[in-house]
Chains A and B, each alone.
Chain A
Amino acid sequence: MIPGSFDYHRPKSVQEAVGLLTQYGDNGRALAGGHSLIPMMKLRLATPAHLVDLAGIADLKGIRADGGDIVIGAMTTQHELIGSDLLAGKVPLLRETSRLIADPQVRYVGTLGGNVANGDPGNDMPALMMCLGATYQVAGKGGERRIPARQFYHGAYFTALEPGDLLTAVRIPVPPAGHGFAYEKLKRKVGDYATAAAAVVLTMSGGRVATCSIGLTNVAETPLWAEDAARILAGSALDAATVKKAVAAAEAICSPASDRRGTPDYRTKMAGVMLTRALARAKSRAAS
């Protein structure tokens, strides 16, 4: 399987990359880790005439604290997310999730920016970013802007990015100390996309849920932020009856495709099972 021909560009700065992407419009694609794009190019599902490799742009790397936020450069790899002590302390959900993405070789190369910007509903990070209330920093011909993850995904492979736009960083508000978290992913084998997965971040106070946020992966054309389900849980002690109600609310917004991972009914139910498990594990990790 040999991809179609293209011209290769390796800009040194974000500005130069945006210039190239703007110039080539629909004929150009940004290349991050390439582990979604190159397979698509081999299948000729993507045939960009110009590839803009982001590997030479130092500004797109790194993980840093900025006030109450963690800012992660778009070209930071999953391997680097797993190895980051800063993240392990502040947003351990990222490490837990990164370890469930693909396999070690892919994680050395696959990037956070590519994972969230591609718009593939099978990717794990988008639902996480919705759950965490993250914001994407985007550079484009009109300058820099910020787009909340919860408003970024419009359809499968269809996002708020315009031609010429480059997602440069992900900005995550650090959840409160003592928060509970979990990412539960059902997959058939190592390296598979989720049959269904659920991300939970919550805080407990006096044995009751103070705050709760839920993201769901690969059970619709876009990642889902299960706002109603989280609202039902707020104030509860996560008792079985309330969890059941919340799970029903989460299942109600699922509309997964039928594929070799299962029927829509099965995958919807599995989203509920993943959510139930994620809630229990998040609760067990939360300071009460």
Chain B
Amino acid sequence: MPKSQISLTVNGKTVEALVEPRTLLIHFLREQLMLTGPHIGCETSHCGACTVDLDGKSVKSCTVFAVQASGADIRTIEGMAAADGSLHVLQEAFREMHGLQCGFCTPGMITRAYRLLQENPNPTEDDIRTGISGNLCRCTGYQNIVKAIQYAAAKMSGVPLQEAAE
């Protein structure tokens, strides 16, 4: 099968590549671009560990072909921190509120939470739980993930959260 030429933006950089049409976006990101932040968990679009931001949508990159993403603007967990290495407020929030234990789900959780807060800067707890319902965590019981997202939302709106992690 002939390879396809694709051109896209990943974490602000233009990328040109040749891919087999059957190459999934998650494999392209991890194996061709060496962006190993997005994880391969279930490979069946359930767990959300492979979530990336694609043209303003949270998508599970295990269920998108790289060739479909030609022309797209993609952001992975590697694109969250500033160029000087200072953490994105969501990364800081997950650290401060103990929003992770093993860390496997974290890249997907943070990229998903990023889009959620872009669309809804003042989410209720229910909005957050619904908003991350496509991301599975097997360690935390979600409590501190929700707190972390609340922390980030509060900090982004200029009124820091008073609650502590559990």
Contacts and interface: CB of A to CB of B under 8 A. Distances in A.
A84 to B, nearest CB: 15
A108 B63 contact: no
Contacts, number: 80
A1 B75 CA distance: 24
A7 B45 contact: no
A191 interface: yes
A4 B65 CA distance: 12
Contacts of B2: 7
A151 interface: no
A79 B48 contact: no
Interface stretch (B8-16, B19-27, B97-105): B19-27
A288 B126 CA distance: 32
Contact of A191 (B46, B63, B131): B46
A106 interface: yes
A285 interface: no
Contacts of B4: 8
Contacts of A109: 57, 59, 63-64
B43 interface: yes
Contacts of A31: 68
B124 interface: no
Interface residues of B, number: 30
Contacts of B24: 2-3, 38
Most buried by A among B44, B64, B134: B134
Most buried by A among B60, B63, B130, B132: B63
B67 A79 contact: no
Interface in A104-137: 104-106, 108-109
B22 A5 contact: yes
A241 interface: no
A34 interface: yes
Interface string B57-98: 111100111011000000000000000000000000000000
Nearest to B131: A104
Contacts of B59: 105, 108-109
Nearest to B1: A5
Given A3-B24, A190-B133, 7 more contacts: A4-B22, A34-B68, A38-B65, A53-B67, A105-B51, A106-B60, A191-B46
Interface of B: 1-2, 4, 20-22, 24, 27, 43-46, 48, 51, 57-60, 63-65, 67-68, 112, 116, 130-134
21 contacts: A1-B43, A2-B24, A3-B24, A4-B22, A5-B22, A6-B21, A7-B2, A8-B4, A8-B65, A34-B64, A38-B45, A38-B64, A39-B44, A39-B63, A104-B131, A104-B134, A105-B48, A105-B58, A109-B63, A109-B64, A190-B133
Nearest 6 A-B pairs (CB), nearest first? A103-B134, A8-B21, A108-B57, A190-B133, A5-B1, A105-B134
